[in-house]
Structure 1
Amino acid sequence: MLTLAVLARSMGEWKGVPMLLILFILFITHVTTTNAIASKLNRFVPQDNYLLSCGASAAVKLDDGRAFRSDPDSVSFLSTPTDIKIAAKTSLAAASPLSPLYLAARVFSEISTYSFFISQPGRHWIRLYFSPIPDSQYNLTTATFSVSTDNMVLLHDFSFIANPPNPVVREYLVLAQGDNLKIIFTPKKNSMAFINAIEVVSAPPSLIPNTTTRLGPQDQFDISNNALQVVYRLNMGGALVTSFNDTLGRTWLPDAPFLKLEATAEAAWVPPGTIKYPDDNTITPLIAPASIYSTAQQMASTNTTNARFNITWQMVAEPGFRYLIRLHFSDIVSKALNSLFFNVYVNGMMGVANLDLSSLTMGLAVAYYKDLIVESSSIINSTLVVQVGLGTTDSGEPNAILNGLEIMKISNEASSLDGLFSPQTSSQVGKRTLTGIAIALAVTAALAVVICFRRSRKPAWQKTNSFHSWFLPLNSSHSFMSSCSKLSRSRFGSTRTKSGFSSVFASSAYGLGRYFTFVEIQKATKNFEEKGVLGVGGFGKVYLGSTEDGTKLAIKRGNPSSDQGMNEFLTEIQMLSKLRHRHLVSLIGCCDENKEMILVYEFMSNGPLRDHLYGDTNIKPLSWKQRLEVCIGAAKGLHYLHTGSAQGIIHRDVKTTNILLDENFVAKVADFGLSKDAPSLEQTHVSTVVKGSFGYLDPEYFRRQQLTDKSDVYSFGVVLFEVLCARPAINPALPRDQVSLAEWARTWHRKGDLSKIIDPHIAAQIRPDSLEMFAEAADKCLADYGVDRPSMGDVLWKLEFALQLQQKGDVVDGTSDGVPMKSLEVSNMNSMEKSGTAIPSYVQGR
C-alpha cells in the first residue's frame, strides 16, 4: 500500500481527484493483475486462508513461504475456559530438527473451540499438527482427546500413547455450509487436549467431484455431503514433494515403502516441463503438480516376453469406511500413441480395463486422473491393494504405469472419520448407526464372556512357566485344541499396535498352541542373534531357537513397522491354526507381548528344497529317488490342503523355497501367508488380487484374476521341472527362449528329448519310464487352462507310480522285473487305496 501511495502522489496530472479514490483504483488494478497472474500460473488463491501457530509468541514462516499467525494474533479465534500455552525450551528448540510449528502448543483441560469466519462456503482443508512438547507440568504424551467440527468427528480418543512420538499431521476436507466453521477439542475425563498448529483453507471447487464411480457396480456414488480424510498421497517413482512445490500446500510421499515387491517396478522420469495439461482445463496443476506426473513406476524387465505380473502397492485401511481412490496417470514411457494398454485393480477387483491413455488424452505426457469409490465391504484384513498390470489386448508394449496415488477415507453414517462416534447426542444418531454400535458392543461382551470362561478352565499343562517345558511334541493333543489364556488376557489389556494385530490375535486365540513369553523367546534366540537368522521376508526375520534341552525351533518375528507382509502373517496364523498334516510345517505356538508378534514352528534342519537342487555348492545334490520322495511328500501336503476340509485351501505360493526338508528329508509345505479358502460348492473360483511368485504364477489366474486349486497345480508343475532340471523358474540372464523354465521344459518334452536339460547329477540314475511318467505329470500340470490340468490327487498318483517304476527297474516287453505292466499298475492302485490316496478318474475307468 505504501508503494501505491507513492505512485499516486507522483501522478500530478490527477489534480482534483481525491487521494482515496486514486488509491482505490490502484488497489483494484493491483488485485486484478495479481489474480490474473496467479490464474495464468495455475496458482490457487483461497478465499479463506487461516494459518495459526498455536501457543507461539511470534509468527512462524515456513520454507514454502507460508506464514502462520502467532498466538496473540490468533487468540480471537479461540474460546477456552483455561488459557494454557507451552513452548519448547530455548536450548531444545535450537537443536530440534522439527518444523518450528511443533515448538509451541495450546493445552486445553476443558472443551475448547476455535471459530473461523467462512467467506465462501464449500470444501475447506483442515490440517491439524500434533507433537507432544516436553514439559514439567503437562505430560502431553498421555493426553487423550477428541476433535470435531460442529457436524463431523475428526478424531476420537486420539493419544500419543498409541502413536509414535514423532509429529503427526491429520488432513481433512470438510464441507463448510454456513459462515462459521468450528473446531472443537474435547479432552477425555482426567486428561487434556493440545494442538500445535491449525490450517483452515478453502479448497478449489473442482478438486473433489460431487459424484464418483463405485468400484464393482460401476454406478455413481454421491459424496457431495461427505467429509474426507487424506490417508495417503504418494508420488510413484519419485522423491518427496513438499508444499514448496505444490500450490495447495500438499505433501506427496515416495511410494517405495508401500511397494509389495520392489523388483516388479522400475522408476521412470521426464523433466516436469514436458508435462502438458488438457486445453479445456478439466485437469490443472491444482489436481496434481507436474512433478507428480513427471515420474512413474513402470513394469520392470518389460523386454521379457509374457511378463505375467502386476506392480502392487499395499496400504493399511480402517474397516467400516468407504475410500476414495484417486489414480494419476501420464504416459511418459511410450514413444508412440496407442502403444500402452494396461489394467488397474483395487483389492482384487477390476478398476479400469485396458486403459488407453492416448485415446483419453490425445497425446503423450498429458495429465489424467481417475477416481474410484471402494465400498467398506471390500476392505478385507484392513488392507487396500492397488495394482497395475498388462491388459488383455495383445497390441502395444507389455507395460503398465502409475504416476501418483491419493487415498481418502469417506465419513460414515455417524458423521465420523474415526469410528462410530457421532458429534451429536445419541438420540440424534441414525437408527443404522445405533444398530452398528449395539452389535459391536454385543460382540465385545460375548468375547469377554468367552475369554473369562476359558480362563477359568486353564489346563494344567499351561500353568508351568519353566522354559524347558515350552516345547510341545508335534503329536501333543493340546497343541491345537487349547486356547492361550495368557494371550487372550494380553490382548484385552494392551494397546492396539500399528498393524492392527491386537484384534486379530484376540479373535484367533483358539488353536494357536503354546503361549511363550517374550523373555522365553529372547532366551531361545540369544536375544535375536543375527547369526541365527534363517531367513528374511516381508514380515520380518526367522531365527533359529533352541530350548534348554537342545530342541531346535524356527521363530518368526513380525516387524510391526513394515506394512509389507503383515496381512500374510495374520493369514498364516489363521490357516495353521486349523491345519494338521505330516507334510505341512507345524505351528507350535506364539508370543504376543511388548507389541511383538511372534510365531514358533518346528525346525526343518535341512532347509528349503531349492538349496538341495542348485545355488549352494556345499550341499550334496539329492538323488533321483530322494527327489521323487520329496515331490511325493509335497504333493501329499498340497492334496491335503485341497481336500482335507469341507471347503479346502489354496496355497497360492507353491515354490521350492516353500517346501522344507526335515532331518530325514521328509518334505513339508510351508508359508501360508498368501493362502485362500477354496471356492465353495456353489462357486467355480475365487475372484482375488493376483499374488504369487514370478515363474510359478498360473497364467489363467493372472489373466482372469480367478483363483482355483488348479493354480497350485500349475505352480507345482514348475516345481517338478525345477527338481528335474535343477535351475530357477525364471533366469533373465539366459536367452529369451530359456528364461521361463516352464516354457523351456515343455518345449523339450514335446520334442521327446528331455535328456538334454536334465540335471547332470541325476541323469545316469533315472529309469526312462520313471522319467516319462514324472515328465508327463509335470507337463499336464502346466496346461494353459485349469480345466485341462490334473488334480493334486492325480499328480500324486503319477509321482508314486514314477517312484515304483524307478524301484522296479527297466520295463522290458511290457514287464517290470518279470511283473506285467498292468499288474504293477493294479498293485499301485491297491496300495494307494489302502493309504487313503485318491485314485485318478482316468484310471478308475480301466
Structure 2
Amino acid sequence: MSLIGAATAVGTTTLYLCLCLLYLSIAVDAYTPIDNFTISCGFDGISFDGDQTWTGDMRSKLFQQDKPSVTARALAQSSSTNSVPYTTARLSYSNFTYSFPVTPGQKFIRLYFYPTSYEQGFERSKAFFTVTSNTFTLLRDFNASLNADAQSSDTVFIEYIINVEEGQRLNLTFAPSAIQSELYAFINGIEILSMPTNLYYTDSQNKAGLKLVAYTNSFFSISNNSALRKEYRFNVGGNDISPRDDTGMLRSWENDQNYVTSPSALPVDINSTQLSFTLVPNYTAPDPVYRTVRSMGMNATLNKISNLTWKFPVDSGFIYMLRLHFCELDTKVIQLSDKVFYIYIDDKLAEETANVLKWSEGQKGVPVYKDYAVQILGNEKKHSLSLKLHPQTEITDYTAYFDAFLNGLEIFRISDPQSNSLAGPNPDPLPPAPAVSQQPIQNQKKSSSRTVIGVVAGVITGVVLLFLVVAFFLDRHGRKVKHAMSEAGKSKWAPSYFPTTKSTHTRRSSSFPSDLCLYFSISEIRAATNNFDDVFKVGVGGFGNVYKGYIDNNTAPVAIKRLKPGSQQGAHEFKTEIEMLSQLRHLHLVSLIGYCNENQEMILVYDYMARGTLRDHIYGTDNPPLSWKQRLQICIGAAQGLHYLHAGAMHNIIHRDVKSTNILLDEKWIAKVSDFGLARVGPTGISRSHITTMVKGSFGYLDPEYYIRQRLTLKSDVYAFGVVLLEVLCGRPPFLRSVEKQEACLDEWVRKFHSEGKIDHTVDPSLKGTIAPESLKKFSDLAMECLLDDGNQRPSMNEVVWGLEFALKLQESAENTTFNLQDQR
C-alpha cells in the first residue's frame, strides 16, 4: 500500500469543503456471478438494453406449462419505456413455470412487468395473478397496472432474494387468480443472478444477527429459510447509479431526494476521494455510494439542530431490514468522540451512540454498514416508515460536532416465517377523472330534483327497515346483553354512571361518541400526567407511550395511551377503539373512560390495570411466577371477555389482535381484554360465515385460514387465544429465533410433544410437579383444538370457557384429594 492523492470536496459550502486527507486504496474488482440468466419473455433472439444482454425464451427449455401459453407484443409502447424487455411478453390463462438450473446459494430474482394491453385480446385490467418461487409466495393476486399507476410509472420492477438448496432448481410459477374468470398471468422479463454468500443473510458465524429495534437486547437472524424483497436502494445525496455501474450484481441505486423530509439535509459530492474497502467487501455497494453523503452540517448551532429524516411507504404486517451505509471522510473529525449521533427507525431508538469512525476502527475513507430489523404492524395498507438521524447535543460528554450523515440505504421486506409469503396488497385504484355533464342546465335541475326525492324516499324506507331489524335483534338478544351488563359490575365510568349534573370534564360535538364516554381537554391530560413526565410512563406500544395519571382531584388512577404526537398512522385505530369500547361493558373488558382529540393529540383514557399485561407475569420478567390455578383463572376471565364480544354484544365482534400483551390484569388479578384498534364487526346473516378483509394482527398469533385466504371469522380469535394458552402453559413467546428450527415455532413444538403423549416436556419449569395430570391433559387438548387448521373444527369461545373451567375443577379436585390424604395421615 502507498499513499495516493489528495481529496478535495466539491459542490456546497458545507462541512466537507476542507477535505484534504490522503487515503489508502486497494483495487476494486467487480463481482462475477456464477449463474446469470437474463430472459426476455415472448421474444425470439438476443438484444442489448444498454446495461445487459437479454436472451429470448421462445426456443428455451426453461419454461413448462399446463396449457399452451401465448407470446404477444404490446399494442402500444410508451416512449419512456425500453423496448427490451418490455415490447414482448409471455401470457397465459393457466399456470406456467420457468425452471432454472442454478448452483446452490443465494440468488437475485428480478421481475419486469409492462402493464398494457397485448395482442390476442389480453386487456390491461385483467392481469391478476400469483407468483411463487420454490416454497415462497412472491406475489398474490397481483395486478401490475394498479401498482404502476400508484407509482406513476409505465413499468413495474421487483427484486427478490432467495436461497436455493443443493439439488434444487430455481422455479418461478405464474398462476392466474381464481377470483373471477378471464384473468391471466404475464411476464416481460426475468433476471436470475448469483450473489455473494451472506451479503444480506445472517452469517452463521454471527450469532447475534440484526439488532431488532424497540426490543432490548433482541436480535433477528435472516436464515436460508427466509426470502427478501427489495423495497428501496438509495445512493444518498447522489445521482442514480445504473446496473452496469454497480459491482457486477447489476443493482440499481436511486437518488433519495423524493423521500427526504428535512429541508436542511445537504447532499455533498466527494469525487476526488479514493476509498479503502477494508472492513466491508468491495461489492457491498458501488464506490460512488460512498462518495456522496447527506448531512446536517457541523456548523449548526444548538437552536438550529433538527433531525435528518426520510420517510418510506411500506406494507404493514412484515419485518423489514434496513442497511445503512457510512463512510467518514471529514478532516475535522480526529477523535473517536468527535461525531456521535442517534439513529431512530420508525420513531424507535435503534442506536444511541452511532459513531462511524469507531465502527471503521478509527480509519477514514473506510466504508462500513449497520443492519437493523424493525417489525411493522398496523391496520393500514401502507405504513410510513421513518428513518431519523439526530445529532448528539451534549457537546462536553459525547461529541465535538452537532452533525449526522448517511451515504447509502437499502430496505428489504423479510418473508413471513409462518406462510413464507412476501406478498402484500395491491394499491387502491386511482380515483377516476370527474365526468363533465353534457345535460342542459334546465334538465340538470330537473334531474337533481328527482334525485333528491329519490334519496329522501330511500332514506325513509331504510330507516323503517332498520327500525324493524333492530327491534327484532334487541328482542332476540336483549337477555344476553342484560346478563353481560350485570356481570360487568358496572364500572363507575360506565355510561349509566356519567354524572347528570355539571361535570369537570368537557364534552364536544364530533364524529366520536362523546355521549358514551368522557371528553378530556389536553390541559386536563397534561395535568394528569405532569405534562407527560417520563416518571409517569408505564409502557410503550406501537400506538405510542402509556402513562399512569390521576383524575378527579388526584383520587382516581387511570391509564393514558398517547398516540405519537402529530402522527396520523393510528387515527383509524383510535376512532375504532373509541367506537367499540364506548359501547361495550363487561367485567373482563378494559373500560374506556374517555378520550382527547385536540391540538393534533389523540389520547385514550382507561381504567388503570395495576398488574400490567399477562405476558409480564409468564416470561421475560422478574415478577414471581404465577401458580397454575392463577393462570387458569386468568385464562377463564379472558375467554369470558372474548365470549362476550362474540355472542353477548349487540353485534358479534372479532377482536383480531388477541395476544398475551392485550390481556391486562387489575389489582385483584382479574383479566381484562384490551386494545380494540383492529376489532371488526363480525359476519352478519345466516349465509355468511366470514368477512373478507386485509390481514392484520400480530406475528405468531395469526389464524392460517385468515392469513392465506383473507377470511376473518370468530374462530380467528379462537386460534390466537390458543396461542395464548400455550404461552401460559410453556412460559415462552410464540416464536423464538434463538433456538433450533424445530423448536422455534411454539405451536409446532407443542403439537409434536402433544401427539407423542409427552406434553409435560413443554411445561414452564416453574410449574413442574404442580399441575394435576388430568388438568394438564384437558388444558393441552383444548389448546390443540383451538389451533386446528380448519376453523370449523375449532371450539367456540363459550366451549373454551367451559373447557378451562373444567380444567380448573380437575386441578382443585386433585389438590383437595392430596390435602385430604395428607390430613388422614
Question: What TM-score results when the alignment is normalised by the length of structure 2?
Answer: 0.47
Normalized per residue, the structure richer in helix is 1
TM-score (norm. length: structure 1): 0.46
